[in-house]
A and B are shown apart, each in its own frame.
Chain A
Amino acid sequence: MKPDKKLIFELSKPGRVAYSLPELDVPEVNLGELIPESMLRSQPAELPEVYEVDVIRHYTELSRRNFGIDNGFYPLGSCTMKYNPKINEDVARFTGFAKIHPYQPEQSIQGALELLYTLQNDLATLTGMDQVTLQPAAGAHGEWTGLMMIRAYHESRGETRTKVIVPDSSHGTNPASATVAGLETITIQSDDKGLVDLDALRAVVGPDTAALMLTNPSTLGLFEEHIVEIAEIVHEAGGLIYYDGANSNAIMGITRPGDMGFDVVHLNLHKTMSTPHGGGGPGSGPVGVKSKLIPFLPKPIVAKKEDGTYGLNYDRPESIGRVKAYYGNFGILVRAYAYIRTYGPEGLRQVSECAVLNANYMMHRLAPYYEIPYPGVCKHEFVMSGRGLKQYGVRTLDVAKRLLDFGFHPPTIYFPLNVEECMMIEPTETESKETLDSFIDTMIQIAQEAEQNPELLLNAPHNTDVRRLDETQAARKPVLNCACN
């Protein structure tokens, strides 16, 4: 067995340095004369002392113990793990984008503002909305921003509406965002087709309804066929409807949330627009609204002036305020803009068509081996249940761990919550038929292994850097830093 990978702190040897700093070129003054001793650190921070080769080898070794899309297939449902184009990385690093400050005079950041303005408009067109803010840093941040606007809209009309309705298949961020926006969540059951139950919806809407939050296609990969009726039910009750854009990769250029009747939309640029997820972030969650909600958008908004130059509009008296410092995750917005310019509108439509075809192909090929709770047509992703394997003492978790042995990232598991032993598979458009077939064949083999040799799954993974980890111990007696001193 290989020894544990060392922490960077464990590589430290006093006297080594990995930095190069300039000599002080102004007369040095005793620090105590500049800042009172009482404000200075009584003990230095015990950071490691290593040289540059240690730094590079340490992080290179860590990178080798990590799995990204560039390593292989990553069918993590609802996360849209598509290829992250390299040109996007290159352009975001252009000095004129990377080394600029948000408080520079507007005339000195015209290129950046032009990019933001164009992206705002393109995203508004893509979603069928009237105006877009690029400030939110992630999807959940966008949800909260949208709900705060919905709340402000109702309040501006003298109405107190406190309830947010979500289906049982919704992302956990939806109810969490509602709480942070000071609203209460009502969860409704899906019908037997996995769709919003219209009667259940009718039963809960009323004068206290602030909004319905809907992911469409849903986390089950199903398009809400009755979306027009759903919008009518909520609107007639005086509520608004919110589009969780996590699954937008299924519908680009085909249908738009704005045309379906949604009032507020967020997009996850780190999903649909290919920006890299970075091991957990940064993301970007722009929010689009219909005209009646424009006054409440966070400030500032990027605007084009009459003289053709671009500026930042802070004069927004009804705005919900500011939701993020400066103007959003600009570096991510640059990548998303480059992605849109790579495809154009017809290319984006092709993206969605291929993503949907890939998902349906996988679902059909896997159907004889795994239970498909909602057969028929799926969109960009679909769910399977692993409950048929329980008779062999095997669970979905074991299937996921066994996939690691074959070099695949597993699907999203145990979500959505309304499907027992759920696996949620999203192939995206950037995977070849050969890759899909290889994954499908592996899944078929694993289903056979479950029946014939369940131990193989129960003890998986077998050849990863570490094997199954004790998560209970981690939570019961938390060790959250190296406490190296």
Chain B
Amino acid sequence: MKHRYIPMTAQDQADMMKVIGISSIEELFQDIPASVRYPGVLPMSEALDEAALLKHMKELADKNADFERYTSFLGAGLYDHHVPVVINHVVSRSEFYTAYTPYQPEISQGELQAIFEFQSYICELTGMAVANASMYDGATALAEAGALASGATKRKELIISRAVHPEARQIVRTTARGLNLDVVEVDYKDGVTDLEELQALVSEDTAAVIVQSPNFFGCIEDLRAIEPIIHSKKGLLVVSTNPITLGLLETPGKLGADVVVGDAQPFGISASLGGPTCGFFAVAEPLMRRMPGRIVGQTKDIDGKRGFVLTLQAREQHIRREKATSNICSNQALLALCASVYLSTMGKTGVQQVANLNVQKAHYAAGVFAQQSELALAFDAPFFNEFVVKLPDGANIDDVQAKLLDNGYIGGYDLGIAYPELQGHMLVAVTERRTKSEIDQFVNRLEACL
């Protein structure tokens, strides 16, 4: 009966039942029909004491190949960046992590200010006017961006590049089906969106062109060339981006994007089998009141002190119900805090330096791959920290991955899974965590595994 999280003693129970005027707990459940009552004990996993639970969880964890024991060259949307140690100390403060959404601003200024600073960081990095408090992840943020574009333009067609993350495209499609929107895919050419085909597809019916830059292949899209194609037809340009690239790459805002989304995972968030990460969502000023999700604004209290509140709530589900701009309620606030602490830690010079380390090491690695007789780079387009390597014809990537794993490496992503025409192509990510010797040895080992 006793449990460390439940304080009720037998005496408490007796006292409380007396106040209520009942003689058994059962009387509190009389309103549940007997026919739907569960008669016995549910056949679920059994309880474990604290030590046994720790041991069990450790055993499960140890069955996984993690990035500390293995050297990872896997990216494809989630990256093995260094996580500054201060981040875990900050997000472990339970005033942050055990709080609910800041509905009572007078006792939630800490969270509200942290979100306000997160919004400020996202605006500064993306070059956009307004950002929200976060979305579930980059992929669902992209789907919401498509929905926003349709609402803003009163058009039903989304054109999305095949060089956008395959899972994000799938979610855009699921979301579009719900909203009865059409999704048209535009192919890629030489690793980037095919601009001729895009030009031919875009029309007065197009709500948005959706691209990712750097795209799924790691290649940087020519946003300057894409922007006029859609804006000349009065549709919106939606750009998904990896925010760590914005330490060096031109902001999508400056290049004409109307909506910029992405995943802040590179900013100090564990890969954690893909979640929880942190989607971000930023828009140009005219789209502000169409944004999904929570938004924090600055204001004053009755004494004139600066303070922060949830604002523009007339967009949201708890006010607007079926007329809301989105159904999102919970977001990823604690991960937005991770990203904010990361950016506070890196600061103006750190975000440039870490981006440069990624660019330099990835290009060094690409150069080493290109020198191997059996390996080649698939695309020539400019890239950031990820590129595509073509293995020799007939190479079995599953076998290669298994052999790499045996040698202590987590290999790159098998592009053949999502792109039938790219069988035998591996997407390789190189972050600042990879050393020259790890890169050299990985390339050698990969050749040896063929």
Question: Chain A 101-139 against B: per-residue CB contact (8 Å), 1 yes, 0 no?
Answer: 111110111111011001000100110100000000111
Total count of chain A residues near the partner, CB < 8 A: 207
* Chain B positions 432-446 with a Cβ under 8 Å from a chain A Cβ: 432, 435-436, 439
Complexed CA–CA distance, A325 and B168 (Å): 7
Task: Tell me, yes or no, whether B372 is within 8 Å of chain A by CB.
Answer: no
Contacts A67-B108, A140-B329, A377-B27; is A62 near B275 (CB within 8 Å)? no
Task: Tell me, yes or no, whether A40 is within 8 Å of chain B by CB.
Answer: yes
| CB atoms of A279 and B333 under 8 A apart | yes
Q: How many residues of B sit at the interface, in one of the four size bands?
A: 35 or more
Task: Tell me, yes or no, whether B239 is within 8 Å of chain A by CB.
Answer: no
Q: Which of B98, B301, B344 contacts A469 (CB 8 A)?
A: B301
| CB atoms of B248 and A35 under 8 A apart | yes
| CB atoms of A325 and B36 under 8 A apart | no
Contacts A18-B344, A361-B16; is A91 near B57 (CB within 8 Å)? yes
Task: Tell me, yes or no, whether B194 is within 8 Å of chain A by CB.
Answer: no
Which A residues touch B15, using CB under 8 A?
A: 433
Which A residues touch B69, using CB under 8 A?
A: 95
Question: Chain A 5-32 against B: per-residue CB contact (8 Å), 1 yes, 0 no?
Answer: 1011100100011111110111111010
Task: Tell me, yes or no, whether A282 is within 8 Å of chain B by CB.
Answer: yes
Q: Which of B120, B357, B398 contacts A21 (CB 8 A)?
A: B357
Complexed CA–CA distance, A277 and B294 (Å): 15
Which A residues touch B323, using CB under 8 A?
A: 179
Task: Tell me, yes or no, whether A392 is within 8 Å of chain B by CB.
Answer: no
Task: Tell me, yes or no, whether A1 is within 8 Å of chain B by CB.
Answer: yes
Q: How far is the CB of B425 from chain A (nearest CB, A)?
A: 14
Task: Tell me, yes or no, whether B288 is within 8 Å of chain A by CB.
Answer: yes
Question: Chain B 134-177 against A: per-residue CB contact (8 Å), 1 yes, 0 no?
Answer: 10111110000001000000000000000001011011011101
| CB atoms of B272 and A98 under 8 A apart | yes
Complexed CA–CA distance, A349 and B298 (Å): 44
* Chain A positions 376-409 with a Cβ under 8 Å from a chain B Cβ: 377, 379, 400-401, 404, 409
Q: How far is the CB of A63 from chain B (nearest CB, A)?
A: 4
| CB atoms of A254 and B29 under 8 A apart | yes
Q: Which of B59, B271, B327, B340 contacts A144 (CB 8 A)?
A: B327
Question: Chain A 454-485 against B: per-residue CB contact (8 Å), 1 yes, 0 no?
Answer: 00000001001111111101110011111111
| CB atoms of B61 and A111 under 8 A apart | yes
Question: Chain A 75-88 against B: per-residue CB contact (8 Å), 1 yes, 0 no?
Answer: 01001011111010
Q: Which chain A residue has the least Cβ–Cβ distance from B278?
A: A282
* Chain A positions 30-89 with a Cβ under 8 Å from a chain B Cβ: 31, 34-36, 38-42, 44-50, 52, 55-56, 58-71, 74, 76, 79, 81-85, 87, 89
| CB atoms of B224 and A182 under 8 A apart | no
Task: Tell me, yes or no, whether B94 is within 8 Å of chain A by CB.
Answer: yes
Task: Tell me, yes or no, whether A446 is within 8 Å of chain B by CB.
Answer: no
Task: Tell me, yes or no, whether A270 is within 8 Å of chain B by CB.
Answer: yes
Stretch from A200-208, A233-241, A340-348 contacting the other chain = A340-348
| CB atoms of B38 and A255 under 8 A apart | yes
Q: Which of B297, B317, B352, B364 contacts A479 (CB 8 A)?
A: B297
| CB atoms of B106 and A466 under 8 A apart | yes
Task: Tell me, yes or no, whether A369 is within 8 Å of chain B by CB.
Answer: no
Complexed CA–CA distance, A31 and B25 (Å): 71
Q: Which of A26, A102, A356 contacts B28 (CB 8 A)?
A: A356
Complexed CA–CA distance, A137 and B328 (Å): 10
Complexed CA–CA distance, A465 and B102 (Å): 14
Q: How far is the CB of A136 from chain B (nearest CB, A)?
A: 9
Point out which of B131, B167, B321 has the most chain A C-beta atoms below 10 A from its C-beta: B321
Known: A21-B82, A21-B353, A340-B44. 19 other contacts (CB 8 A): A9-B117, A66-B110, A96-B64, A99-B272, A100-B271, A103-B413, A111-B59, A125-B42, A171-B318, A179-B327, A323-B171, A324-B139, A330-B273, A345-B44, A345-B46, A412-B103, A430-B6, A433-B7, A474-B297
A-B contact pairs, 7 of them (CB 8 A): A19-B346, A89-B97, A101-B271, A173-B327, A222-B31, A255-B38, A361-B20
